[in-house]
Amino acid sequence: MGRTGSTALLTDMYELTMVESAMRSGTAQRRSVFEVFGRRLPLGRRYGVVAGTARVLDALEAFRFGPEEIDFLASAGVVHGDTLDFLREYRFRGSITGYGEGECFFPGSPILTVEGTFADAVLLETVILSILNHDSAVAAAASRMTMAAHGRPCLEMGARRTQEEAAVAAARAAVVGGFAGTSVLEAGRSYGIRTIGTAAHSFTLLHDDEESAFEAQVATLGPATTLLVDTYDVTRGVARAVAAARAAGGELGAVRLDSGDLVAQAFTVREQLDALGATSTRITVTSDLDEYAIAALNAAPVDSYGVGTRLVTGSGHPTAELVYKLVSREDPTGRMEEVAKASASKASLGGLKVAGRVLDAEGRAAEELVVAAGSAQAGLAELERAGARPLQVPLVRDGEIVEEHRGPGALAAATRRHFASRAELPYAAWRLSEGEPGIPTRHMDIDMTDDATFVI
């Protein structure tokens, strides 16, 4: 039996056993602040991209323990008695702030802050991280690819290279990073993304010859369709494709190249198309592309790129390496107290944090300023004194979702935000080569009067 619409069991068992133990120790209702951040960027990355925010909010709304979930937990002996009663009535009633979806981030960026009781907030750790780690990894890969494409459209075609639900999420995350369409119909239905697709090699092989395959596709989809011309011989395929479209009374929309030396073939095919008078016919390329292959094709007469495997797997980095850590909690006197791990290589910095981006005189990002303060108001005041652009926005207020962050226009807004954020970065951050983060992160603790570069 497949899972229900509830997202409550998309979590690790220890989230629930921690709640049960905290209830027994009398600490479950202590006010707490959890933070999502990355200690470092994936190796070679110069910036990260926040993606999945809207999906987190959808998952939060569905995070309910109904009869089926409670029956499973009871029968499996995961938790008991009072804990089951608590879960039956569970609703997240806290608040969440975070970087706007599409915003670039760096090591130490507090990209999501969850405030509530310990029991309320700790339960969300796994589902939040599973969404943000996947979607942010795909969006970062997409951003690097669209940057390498220099304005030429990139199209997502990776559904067959990942899990079926992940394919839909990846299509959405790719759009956050600048992709213009997807082959996945469910992504089109769920998120309003433009869907694309025509035919595969099997369609050509089905027919007795290439001419009849092209004629059938043009008859169905019109002359403006894209014909796959490398099933057999590319030169003959191009000639037959142009002829099929003209026989139907129009000019061929595009040809697709899916194998071989794409750079050399693009030049040869462009020359052939122009010689045939098909000067408006575009060239799209596919075949295991990544940001480096796209960059290598910059000099070639390519009009668009179709990307699959490397995109949906994060182009070598399938996770954004984000963590969810307790940074502040209520002490026995009712006072909020900073807490932090001191583990070797896994240390964290305590306290509720407010983040802003400081620009230089030319309007380029110079640093990420992260202020640990007793309150958001105090942190924002410090950002204002530093002339930093605030990066966090309210996502959930006292249990109520701020709908603009997941509504019909949320995905387009995230794409616009990403393009603006990426354009703000210094040139070094745009490089595809390995290197340091595009800008440093400076951490300031108001209470400790500490001011240092963030290094953990």
Q: What's the pLDDT tens digit per position in 308-323?
A: 999 999 999 999 999 9
Band of residue 217 on the pLDDT scale cut at 50, 70, 90: very high
111 backbone dihedrals φ, ψ, rounded to 5° = -75, -15
pLDDT band at 189 (very low <50, low <70, confident <90, very high): very high
- How high is the pLDDT of residue 218? 98
Share of the chain above pLDDT 90, in %: 92
pLDDT at 1 over 60: no
DSSP for 213-228, written as a single string: HHHHHHHHH-TTSEEE
pLDDT band at 342 (very low <50, low <70, confident <90, very high): confident
For residue 31, the model assigns a pLDDT of 97
**Cβ density class 104-136: b for 16+ within 10 Å, e for less:** bbbbbbbbbbbbbbbbbbbbbbbbbbbbbbbbb
pLDDT tens per residue across span 370-410: 999 888 999 999 999 999 999 999 999 999 999 999 988 99
The class that CATH gives domain 13-138+317-453 is alpha beta
**Do 444 and 356 meet the contact criterion of CB atoms below 8 Å apart?**
no
In terms of DSSP bridges, do strands 365-372 and 441-445 run parallel, antiparallel, or are they unpaired?
parallel
Instruction: State the Cα–Cα distance between residues 194 and 175, nearest whole angstrom.
Output: 10
- 450 to 205, 336, 454: CA distances (angstroms): 68, 19, 11
For the segment 240-256, the average pLDDT, to the nearest whole number, is 98
pLDDT one-digit tens code per residue, 172-184: 999 999 999 999 9
pLDDT at residue 453 is higher than 70? no
pLDDT of amino acid 446? 80
- Beta strands at 95-99 and 31-38: parallel, antiparallel or unpaired: unpaired
Can you tell me the mean pLDDT for 88-111?
A: 98
